Amino acid sequence: MSAKIPEKSPEELVAAVDLGSNSFRMVIARVIQTPSGTQVQPIDTLRESVRLAAGLTQDKKLDEKSISRGLKALHRFGDRLKNFDPKQVRVVATNTLRVARNADTFIKEAEKLLGFPIEVVAGREEARLIYIGAAHDAPTCDGKRFVLDIGGGSTEFIIGDG
């Protein structure tokens, strides 16, 4: 069971939703300004195994079962996000919704349930976001850093600096 979201000023909270090929994830975090910079403190997370990519047919269309699993998960996410301002939420979709020929139909329904627009990101942007997330959680380092993300529909290799 996820923690209850504390009653705080909405400007202090942000949310990120990742619509991946195997699972959908949502993180709600508090933004904290400290003398050493901005900190992001997760306060609520939700992960749903929707196996969206498993529902891709041979002609690259999402089947009804995978669409249903995905929309049910997003209904739950939307309940948690209903008091958020659009500037506080970013929703990104990755490989499966890049390649699905009927992704527009799914996205239209999903946006209604979530209450926020869904951005289908290109592979480079997906890799950039993965790197930022991994670098944020890792100790600081000088020089280059290698990050590998093996997802359900794609694999990203990222070499970043810092």
- What pLDDT does residue 34 have? 81
Is 21 among the domain residues?
yes
Q: Do 48 and 73 share a domain, yes or no?
A: yes
pLDDT band at residue 157 under the 50/70/90 scheme: low
- What pLDDT does residue 124 have? 74
Check if the beta carbon of residue 97 is closer than 8 Å to that of residue 19.
yes
Q: Do 28 and 85 share a domain, yes or no?
A: yes
Question: Residue 151 and residue 158: Cα distance in Å, rounded?
Answer: 14
Is 115 among the domain residues?
yes
CATH number, domain with residue 31: 3.30.420.40
Is 161 among the domain residues?
yes
Range of the domain at 74: 10-121
Q: Do 45 and 113 share a domain, yes or no?
A: yes
Q: Do 28 and 88 share a domain, yes or no?
A: yes
Q: Please tell me the pTM assigned to this model.
A: 0.77
Is 1 among the domain residues?
no
Strand partners, 106: none
Q: Do 104 and 134 share a domain, yes or no?
A: no
- What pLDDT does residue 8 have? 47
Is 3 among the domain residues?
no
pLDDT band at residue 61 under the 50/70/90 scheme: very high
Tens digit of each residue's pLDDT (9 = 90 or more) over 88-146: 999 999 889 999 999 999 999 999 999 999 999 876 776 666 666 656 666 677 777 66
